[in-house]
Amino acid sequence: METISTNRSHGGVQGVYTHASAVTNTEMTFAVYVPDREDDEKLPVLWYLSGLTCTHANVMEKGEYRRMASELGLIIICPDSSPRGQDIPDDPAYDMGQGAGFYVDATQEPWAANFQMRSYVEQELPALIADEIPAADMQRQGIFGHSMGGHGALTIALRNPDRFKSVSAFAPIVAPSEVPWGKKALGRYLGEKKSAWRIYDACALIEDGARVPEILVDQGAADNFLDQQLKPHLLQEACDQAGIGLTLNMRKGHDHSYFTISTFMDDHLRWHAARLG
């Protein structure tokens, strides 16, 4: 793990780091914010997964999480949204390829060699954090994200309910198997056999028996992707059927941008802190 930069902010240190990933076969960059603490104190870990076209930097620069993270004593980790590099497969469209990893382990060419974001976020990066960040209490982890990253957060939490004690999302893609973004990405990364998509679809996972105690979602009512790509009512229906407590806040006048995310960031950090202890 090599340090790109560190900066003091709101009673903590915002770092940006890089490492050679064995699962993506690339250099991967990520951000970690660690509040000040006693020397031997360990703090809960909260993962933030970014959306389409984003890197670790979008939420780091526009998410406005550091003040509240220090107040609550939360480590915030922000991975990249895909492998990147000159020799890494890409696509001219913004919703495929670099910047659009969809947090899946690709099985189709040319993506399979590098686009292993499920394994990266679920296994490789947590192992690195456990080794390199002494303050990180890996027994207390939560996860949240935005849009494609909200999809990633929901599916990762549903697949790993014993590891992640809390989950929330901003404007998540809740049923990628049913919307254009997801159909395109899952079809090309995983192939056209839709049964292989279900472990990457929050609504399908819930239908298949996956459970978490509760979920928080904030969704802008003026989000231009709401009706075609996000469809939060499908998550509401799945949670109601499964008995999962879903808090779905439809935020009047708010859109899909970081103006919305930064507005409700404190609410989400408090939600996670209350559940992580």
| pLDDT value for 245 | 98
| Mean pLDDT calculated for residue range 78-98 | 97
- CA nearest 59: which of 261, 237, 272? 261
Domains and CATH numbers, the chain: 2-276 (3.40.50.1820)
Catalytic residue at 268? no
As a whole number of Å, the end-to-end CA separation of the chain is 28
* pTM of the complete model beyond 0.95: yes
| pLDDT value for 184 | 98
> For residues 74 and 273, is the Cβ–Cβ distance under 8 A?
yes
Tens-place pLDDT, residues 203-232: 999 999 999 999 999 999 999 999 999 999
Per the rule left: phi > 0, alpha: psi between -120 and 50, beta: everything else, 108 is beta
Tens-place pLDDT, residues 155-177: 999 999 999 999 999 999 999 99
User: Residue 229 CB: number of other CB atoms within 10 A?
Assistant: 23
| pLDDT value for 247 | 98
| Mean pLDDT calculated for residue range 265-269 | 98
How is the beta sheet containing 75-79 ordered, strand by strand? 2-8, 12-21, 26-35, 75-79, 43-49, 136-146, 164-170, 214-220, 245-251
Identity at 173, one-letter amino acid code = I
Q: Which of 147, 218, 254, 268 is catalytic?
A: 147
| pLDDT value for 256 | 98
Q: Which of 56, 146, 223, 268 is catalytic?
A: 223
CA-to-CA dists, residue 73 to 135, 163, 176, 277, angstroms: 11, 19, 34, 10
Helices (H), 97-194: 117-119, 125-132, 148-159, 180-190
- Residue 116 sits at the vertex; the CA angle it makes with 46 and 138, to the nearest 5 degrees, is 25
Distance CA 58, CA 172 (A): 16
Catalytic residue at 223? yes
Please name the residues in contact with 11: beta carbons below 8 A apart, sequence gap of 6 or more: 35, 36, 70
Distance CA 112, CA 123 (A): 17
Q: Which of 151, 256, 268, 272 is catalytic?
A: 256
Catalytic residue at 82? no
Q: What is the band of 262 on the pLDDT scale with cuts at 50, 70, 90?
A: very high
